Amino acid sequence: MEYISSSVDLDWWQLIVSVGAGLAIFLYGLLLLTDGLKRAAGSTMKRILGRMTSNRFKGALAGAFITSVIQSSSVTTVLVAGFISAGLMGLTESVGVIMGANIGTTITAQIVAFKVTKAALVLIAIGGIGFVFSSVQKRKNIFLISLALGFIFFGMTLMSDGTAPLRTYAPFIDFMQWIESPLLGILAGALFTAIVQSSSATTAIVIVLATQGLVTLEGGIALAFGANVGTCVTAFLASLGKPVDAKRAALVHVMFNVAGVLIWVGFY
């Protein structure tokens, strides 16, 4: 492989703008998707969460289902903290929901792993036009979901196009080989996720890099492990100023994710 020898040969401004814009559009798409899905099934999700927390197994199923719908384990955890604060849920019931949330969030990774980025502009066109001109709220919610998915896929396309030159840039390739060390990869993934407040965004970037051949399976796994640790920051921030049980629920979220990483890193 022919490597680029110096940073002068790499258009850093174009790369930063492309990746930054792609990440911003991806995150905005996630926000829109969460909003659209909550509008479409918000009351249903609350009923499910209220009825299915009588034991931990039902709570885990409820947490997995709700998170797979709203595409964010952090949002589910924030909801749990709110329910605890309102006295609608105890710490014991929250544990199952939090565990389920960590299962449900993997749906996002699977969606972005499918090669559906070519449908981005079609989804944006259909969703945007339909949302503007539709007068029926249920249809508007569906069009909003379509628009959100289009933004998510378009953001990934921008990031993919922006990182393409890195395939022949020797310092970056050396860096990616460096973070194949489990500890360094986990730290890098955790730090980035804590900054962007989205493990889904970290996962999407890892998938983009893997598609470009810029990250190995081992490096991708380490970054994914780190994303699971970094996403705990959101839950921790959401528990500030809340009752003790809400803080304990956030701590359970941290312990569960960290323990999962410690267990699976042995199979790295």
Give the pLDDT confidence of 172-195 residue by residue, as tens digits: 767 777 777 788 889 988 888 887
- Backbone dihedral region for residue 197 (phi beyond 0: left; psi -120 to 50: alpha; all else: beta): left
Distance in angstroms (rounded) separating the CA atoms of residues 265 and 244: 31
CB 48 within 8 A of CB 79: no
With respect to residue 166, please indicate whether it lies within any of the assigned structural domains. yes
Q: What's the rounded mean pLDDT across residues 148-154? A: 85
- The fraction of the chain above a pLDDT of 90, given in percent, is 4
Distance in angstroms (rounded) separating the CA atoms of residues 217 and 54: 40
Distance in angstroms (rounded) separating the CA atoms of residues 262 and 16: 33
With respect to residue 212, please indicate whether it lies within any of the assigned structural domains. yes
Distance in angstroms (rounded) separating the CA atoms of residues 268 and 224: 12
Distance in angstroms (rounded) separating the CA atoms of residues 44 and 66: 10
Domain range for residue 58?
A: 7-267
Q: CA angle, 124 as apex, 121 and 125 as ends, to 5°? A: 85
With respect to residue 257, please indicate whether it lies within any of the assigned structural domains. yes
The better pLDDT of the pair 55, 262 is held by 262
Confidence of residue 5 (pLDDT cuts 50, 70, 90): very low
Q: What pLDDT score was predicted for residue 49?
A: 61
With CA atoms as reference, report the closest residue to 196 among 78, 31, 76. Answer: 31
With respect to residue 2, please indicate whether it lies within any of the assigned structural domains. no
| Spacing of C-alpha 146 from chain mean position | 18
Question: Is 222's pLDDT higher than 80?
Answer: yes
Give the pLDDT confidence of 34-77 residue by residue, as tens digits: 777 777 665 666 666 666 656 677 778 878 877 776 666 766 77
With respect to residue 1, please indicate whether it lies within any of the assigned structural domains. no
Confidence of residue 102 (pLDDT cuts 50, 70, 90): confident
User: Considering its fold, how many domains does the chain have in total?
Assistant: 1
With respect to residue 112, please indicate whether it lies within any of the assigned structural domains. yes
Confidence of residue 2 (pLDDT cuts 50, 70, 90): very low
Q: pTM score, two decimals? A: 0.66
Using DSSP, state whether 4 is helix, strand or coil: strand
Beta bridge partners of 169: 4
Q: What pLDDT score was predicted for residue 1?
A: 46
Composition of the chain by helix, strand, coil, percent to 5: 85, 0, 15
CB 67 within 8 A of CB 104: yes
